[in-house]
Amino acid sequence: MSAAPPIVMTREQSDICACTHPRILVEANAGAGKTTTAAMKIARLVEQGANPSRILALSYTEPGVQAYLAAFERLGLKPELARAIRVGTLEDFCAARLKWLENWVVERLNRAEQVRPAVLAAIASARESVSGRYAGEFALDGSGEFAVEGLLDEFAQIKGSMQLLRQEEGFRITPDSAGELGRDFTTLAVYHCYESQRCHFVDPAGEPRVKFRYAGDATYDLARILASDDPSFSWERHPLRLKLDAVILDEMHDSNWAMFTVLQALLAVNDGVQFLGVGDRDQVIHARDGADAYFMGPGFAAFIGEPQRLPLTETRRFGAGIAQPLARLAHKPYPSHAALQSRVEIRQAGSAAELIGWINDALTRRPGLRPDSPRSQLALLLRHPSAATELEHGLRRQAIRYQSVGFTSYLERPEVLFVRLLFAAAVRLPDQFRSALLAPAKRAAWEFIGGVVLDADAAQTAQVVEQASEANFAEFVLPALLRQTPHQAASRQVQQAMRLAASDRIEDLPRAIAALDIRQLARRVFVQVEAAEDSERSLQGLVRASQSYASISEFLRSLLAHDYDAHAEKWAGERIILSSIEAAKGLEFEHVIIPDLNRSDFDGERADERNLFYVAASRARQQLTLVHRPGQASSYLRHFVSN
Ligand SMILES: Nc1ncnc2c1ncn2[C@@H]1O[C@H](COP(=O)(O)OP(=O)(O)OP(=O)(O)O)[C@@H](O)[C@H]1O
């Protein structure tokens, strides 16, 4: 098996580092060394005496940030220098610049559940404000609870593409104008109210403020301030004037209008700043939020200026065994470094148990792992990680340690923590939570029973819930919650489930979980329909996991033991990785397994779906294992069959 070659700068990399053109773009295949070269460029600038704090290294995602840091380490950049470089996501950078500009900390909300009250309020006010001849066009009946998920998706697209801001002055939202933009009138009417509430909020001191920011809002808000005719800053006091020497942008293919607007301003106001952007148009996986390779192509020349384009030709991650099928998949040349060898294998698995058989094989025979490599060099990249309950359960049974990345392990999902809390109280078992999980478990109980999300308005209750010890929660807070909740039907379901579980007989656990009717409780709590369905699936997984235990208490104790084990430092390298594909962007592993490559699960002509597969398949260094159900192979596999 080929050992990882030492990093010796190639001619192309050296050309990129030496190039003094103020605007450099590198479009290259996955694994061609884009992040490494970006890090080399930074290291070169530092060597030449640049102040590291005047170098801004941006990425769009947290894994992208990690990839920079890993590359600095591989290149041997001194840790104190690496720490001084401004490395981060564009969203965090924008949030920090807005804080400076606004002199005020705006709350950042990360979960859809947290913004749901604002969306529901916007639906109500949009319905009221749509009057006169358009009243009949408002298409949402009732509270609109079930529409929240779709609306948030559309809002992200509208913001990412800055679609409304790019309309002519005097643009009004009407059924006709909405239709011309390819959107429906109701969505735009609600969007308008949602943004008015979010952005034109008056604080108790009478100051106009932004109330909160959800994912992507910091970038969008900064972009709209930059693009406004009447900006809240002066040229001398500009939020992006940071005396930067260099701006380096990884994952540039994922740029959308809002991101690009910030980039454009950043380059315009920092005199003499050098720019290097790297990307691969086949890795665009956020097209729904307006990501477009256009910004690396004609868009760049049109809005920023003609760049110097430089190549990185060969992939240095894997050999021809993986590169050739990827060339066929992406219809492009895909040269690979001659010294690298990689293998692809296609396997069939009709069940989670069979898949675990392949994982066991990968760990015992180690066809893709070097003799001294830790198990964390084996990664399973999952298209639908929330459907991995069976897989996780099977791994637990076989005592194969794993780490979930980019998604929450089903054992830490709110409905599972909720059930554990309820059942521990029912069988009077104390101390069933690691401290890190107790708070989310209590919050889950509050949300499922109360049906409302903890927010500033529920501050007092939040405090009681947050501060209660596990014993106090079980003895006082939980009964009070069950008595006082406005959702008395939910309260009855929970009490019935607890009565059944109180027997401590493992045979009663399935009935107790059925009595809970989690799907109904979850519909009130989650924004996304899929999340409510996942709740049901993860509790089914929990029922299956319980079968081999003698009692409910014994099962609960085993879950606690698993929690400690799953977070113990000593096993860090001994856990295989279970990751969403999105979270694996920019990363690489010696052996990658992609399960569920079935026609019904991971297939299709849509560019972002195909790109997601391209991203997943290009993470492997030595071995790529593609797994499908018998007779249901995804069409993507046809590119790999001749291997
Ligand atoms: N000059 C070099 N010599 C040896 N290995 C190299 C060299 N340059 C890059 N590599 C290795 O090639 C692999 C891929 O590099 P890198 O992650 O930078 O690629 P990338 O183009 O950013 O990939 P992706 O598009 O998937 O994010 C890494 O293991 C890196 O260490």
Atom of ligand 1 nearest to the CA of 36: 18
Domain boundaries, the chain: 11-103+221-312, 111-214, 320-401+574-639, 414-569
Mean pLDDT of 50-76: 92
Q: What digits encode the pLDDT tens for the residues 240-252?
A: 999 999 999 999 9
Eight-class DSSP state of 246: E
Which of 3.20.20.70, 3.40.50.300, 3.40.50.720, 3.50.50.60 is the CATH number of 320-401+574-639? Answer: 3.40.50.300
Write the pLDDT tens digit of every residue in 160-218. 999 998 888 888 899 999 999 999 999 999 999 999 999 988 877 788 889 999 999 99
Q: What is the pLDDT of residue 477?
A: 87
Structure confidence at residue 85 as a pLDDT band (50, 70, 90): very high
pLDDT score for 2? 45
**pLDDT, tens digit (0-9, with 9 covering 90-100), for 395-425:** 988 889 999 999 988 888 999 999 999 999 9
Strand, coil or helix: 503: coil
State the Cα–Cα distance between residues 410 and 537, nearest whole angstrom: 9
Going by C-alpha positions, the residue among 449, 438, 457 that lies closest to residue 493 is 449
Residue 616 pLDDT grade (very low, low, confident, very high; cuts 50, 70, 90): very high
Contact 306, 24 (CB under 8 A): no
- Pair type for strands 201-202 and 208-209: antiparallel
Under the banding of pLDDT at 50, 70 and 90, the label for residue 1 is very low
Give the pLDDT score at 262: 97
Q: What is the pLDDT of residue 211?
A: 93
In angstroms, rounded to a whole number, what is the distance separating the alpha carbons of residues 401 and 572? 9
User: Cα-atom radius of gyration of the chain, to the nearest Å?
Assistant: 26
Containing 378, the helix (H) or strand (E) segment is strand 378-382
Q: Would you say 241 and 269 are in contact if contact means Cβ atoms under 8 Å apart?
A: yes
- Smallest CA separation from ligand 1 atom 29, residue: 317
Indicate the top mutation candidate among 13, 14, 26, 36 to test ligand 1's pocket, ranked by most ligand atoms within 8 A of CB.
Answer: 36
Looking at the DSSP bridge assignments, the partners of residue 344 are 624
> Best mutation site among 37, 280, 282, 316 for ligand 1, i.e. most ligand atoms within 8 A of its Cβ?
316
Closest CA to 201 of 292, 298, 104: 104
Distance separating alpha carbons of residues 266 and 199, to the nearest angstrom? 23
Helix, strand and coil content of the chain, in percent to the nearest 5, comes to 55, 10, 35
Ligand 1 center to residue 406 CA distance, Å? 22
Give the list of residues 6+ apart from residue 567 with CB closer than 8 angstroms, or none. 434, 436
Give the C-alpha separation, 18 to 23, whole Å. 13
- Look up the pTM and report it: 0.89
User: What is the per-residue pLDDT across 275-312, written as a single tens digit (0 to 9) for each?
Assistant: 999 999 999 988 878 888 899 999 999 999 999 999 99
Average pLDDT for 412-439? 92
The pLDDT confidence band at residue 453, using thresholds 50, 70 and 90, is: low
pLDDT band, very low/low/confident/very high, at 143 (cuts 50, 70, 90): confident
Tell me if 311 CB under 6 Å of ligand 1. no
pLDDT score recorded for residue 350: 93
Are residues 199 and 221 in contact, defined by beta-carbon separation less than 8 angstroms?
yes
Query: Is ligand 1 within 6 A of the CB of residue 611?
Result: no
User: Domain 11-103+221-312 is of which CATH architecture?
Assistant: 3-Layer(aba) Sandwich (3.40)
Nearest C-alpha neighbor of 289 from the set 529, 117, 61: 61
How far, in Å, from the CA of 53 to the mean position of ligand 1? Answer: 25
The alpha carbon of 429 and the centre of ligand 1 are apart by a number of angstroms equal to 51
30 Cβ below 6 A of ligand 1: yes
Q: Which residues contact 317 (CB under 8 A, 6 or more apart)?
A: 30, 31, 340, 588, 618, 620, 621
What is the per-residue pLDDT for 4?
A: 58
Q: Which of 310-319, 350-359, 531-540, 626-635 has the lowest mean pLDDT?
A: 531-540
Least confident of 77-81, 265-269, 566-570, 610-614: 566-570
Say if CB 498 and CB 480 are below 8 A apart: no
Alpha-carbon gap, residue 10 to 477, rounded angstroms: 64
User: Which residues are 568's β-sheet partners?
Assistant: none
**For residue 144, what are the contacts with CB-CB under 8 A and spacing of at least 6?**
119, 120, 123, 151, 190
Residue 138 reports pLDDT greater than 90? no
Distance CA 428, CA 335 (A): 63
Count Cα atoms within 13 angstroms, Cβ side, for 438. Answer: 16
Instruction: Judge if 11-103+221-312 and 320-401+574-639 fold alike in CATH terms.
Output: yes
Ligand 1 centroid from CA 257, angstroms: 28
Residue 386 predicted with pLDDT over 80: no
In angstroms, what is the span from residue 355 Cα to ligand 1's centroid? 30
CA distance 97 to 272: 20
- Residue 79 CA to ligand 1 centre (angstroms): 20
* Residue 611, burial from CB neighbour count under 10 angstroms (0-12, 13-18, 19+): buried
Q: Around 201, how many Cα atoms within 13 Å sit in the side-chain half-sphere?
A: 15
Q: Is 217 left (phi over 0), alpha (psi -120 to 50) or beta?
A: alpha
CA dihedral angle for residue 354, residue 359, residue 365, residue 369, rounded to 10 degrees:
150
Task: Judge if the beta carbon of residue 75 lies within 6 A of ligand 1.
Answer: no
For residue 79 the two structure tokens come to 């840790």
Q: Which of 582 and 458 is assigned the larger pLDDT?
A: 582
Atom of ligand 1 nearest to the CA of 39: 18
pLDDT exceeds 90 at position 462: no
Helix (H) or strand (E) holding 628: strand 620-628
Cβ 61 under 6 angstroms from ligand 1: no
| Each residue's pLDDT tens digit, 268-277 | 999 999 999 9
Classify 573 as helix, strand or coil. Answer: helix
How would residue 459 be classed by pLDDT, with cut points 50, 70 and 90? low
Q: Does the C-beta of 32 come closer than 6 Å to ligand 1?
A: yes
Q: Helix 414-426 vs helix 509-516: angle between axes, to the nearest 10 degrees?
A: 120
Judged by average pLDDT, the poorest of 225-239, 240-254, 297-311, 597-611 is: 225-239
